[in-house]
Amino acid sequence: MCVINVDRIKKWIQKQPIVFIFSLALVVISSFVTITEGIFKIKNYYENTIGYKKSMCRKIDLLSVDTQIDYFVNTLGYPIFKNAGKYYSEYIFINKYFYVQAICNTSGKVFMFSVTTRDGKFNPEFKTPFYGANENSMSLILGKTKFAEIHNTPSNVKGEIDVHTHGVYVERYYLGYSGNYQEYIVACTDVGDSGGGSDWLSINEFALTDSGRMTLSHQKFREECVINTYAIISSLHDENIDIDKLPIGPNIYQLRLKKGGN
């Protein structure tokens, strides 16, 4: 059994006070360094996980139609892809948690943009203008809200799927004055994270009837499928641009061209 002799320690301190003070300082400094390193690791972990996601959600919340494409670049960084057309150009921004698609006219004004979550734990929230003030407003959480939880009536429904079963299911909503006369789109695309649906291979058959109704299989799909893409189309887009033919979200085949696929 080890017994500490307090008197001997006191005598040693009295004889060698400088050595004692130096040793005590080393212990304090070592403890401080250890604590600092721990705090730094915690801070670094937060900033690269929860804190980073929150900062990205704040950036996404700043995005808006009728702004210049330079604003998107300043907010999100340089786009990975640019697809130039006669009347408009499409820019694709890639983040490890999401994709942003921005489409602008020849003067660089963004008239449509979309956000697609790539991670089931990255869930930005979107609310249409005047949310909570009228019955036409919409609210959703990307990667969590299912189509059936949107209680507004879509103005158009469309599903597209190719021979490789890559596709997108889209619902469009026009809220009139309460939505700033903009068009709002909710979609599920296979480039993003998705809860999926039981009838994905039949999405090209889904449509609204003349009375605005949906088939039972369509309703079941909406109850199961999670929205992973949200888009806004400005009311001020050029007349020579066919809005119905605009792509919703990035092209999966183009994304494969990027090294590493992400």
| Same structural domain, 156 and 228 | yes
134 plus 72 within the same structural domain = yes
Mean pLDDT on 234-254: 87
Is residue 247 a part of any domain in this protein?
A: yes
Claim to verify: residue 30 and residue 69 sit in the same structural domain:
no
40 and 143: one domain? no
pTM for the whole thing?
0.79
Q: Determine, yes or no, domain membership for 59.
A: no
Per-residue pLDDT at 39 exceeds 50: no
- Which of 221 and 209 is assigned the larger pLDDT? 221
**Do 14 and 73 share a structural domain?**
no
pLDDT at 209 over 60: yes
Report the relative pairing of strands 167-174 and 183-189 from DSSP bridges: antiparallel
* Comparison of pLDDT for 193 and 26, the residue scoring more: 193
**Do residues 76 and 30 both lie within one domain?**
no
Question: Is 31 a member of any domain?
Answer: yes
**How many Å apart are CA 32 and CA 40, to the nearest integer?**
12
pLDDT, tens digit, 9 for 90 and up, residues 139-190: 899 999 999 999 888 988 988 888 777 889 999 998 877 777 899 999 999 8
107 and 190 inside one domain: yes
- What average pLDDT does the chain have? 82
**Domain span including residue 32:** 6-48
Q: What is the pLDDT of residues 98-138, one digit of tens each?
A: 999 999 999 999 999 999 999 989 999 998 875 445 556 78
Count of structural domains, the chain: 2
